[in-house]
Structure 1
Amino acid sequence: MGGDRIEPGMEGVVVPLPGVPVAFTVEEVGEARRRWTWRVRAGPVRMRPHHAVTVLPDGRTGTELRMEGPLPALVLYAGPARLVLHRLVRGGAGA
C-alpha cells in the first residue's frame, strides 16, 4: 500500500474524540470521483461512513458525508467528521 493514498483494505485507528479510539477498514475508493467508504468500530458500535470531495459549480471544493449505523453513534460522529473533512478540503495538516 502507498503512503499518502487511501486504498481498499487499509486498516488503522483514528481518535475522533479524545480517548475514543475507532478502528477502521477502508472498503472502497473511487479515486477518479474522489470518494471512499470505510467501516469503523468503537467497541460494539459499528458504522459505515461514505465520504466524497466534490468541486462545486462556482469552483470551490465541498464534501459529502453519508453514514450508516446506530443514530446515537452517528450524532456523535457527525461533529468530528465535519471538522476533519473541513481540514481535508482546506489542505490542513492531520486531516
Structure 2
Amino acid sequence: MSEEIQLVYTGSRAEGLWVQEILKENGIGSILKDTLASSVKGGWADGSPADALLIYVENNNLEKAKSILKEYFAKRKPLKNDNDKS
C-alpha cells in the first residue's frame, strides 16, 4: 500500500460498511479492501469474516478519521463476543 494512505479500520464487512458511511458523511473518502472476498474470487477462502474488511484513508484525513471512529466505537454497544477493534 502507498504511504499516502493509512489503515483506520479492520473488522467485519457488516460494520465496515457502516464505518465507511460514517466517514463519507464527514467528508472523508476511503478505500475498502475485502480480503475474504478477494480470496474467494481467487478460488480459495482465506481469513475470518470477523476481520476481513480493511478501510484506508488518505494521510491528510487520518487524524480526523481516527477521531470520528474513536467517538463511534466509544458510543456503540458491544456485540456478543466482540473483540476490541478500536
TM-score (norm 1): 0.31
Higher relative contact order, structure no. (Cα contacts within 8 Å, ≥ 6 residues apart): 2
**Greater share of strand residues, 1 or 2?**
1
**Greater share of helix residues, 1 or 2?**
2
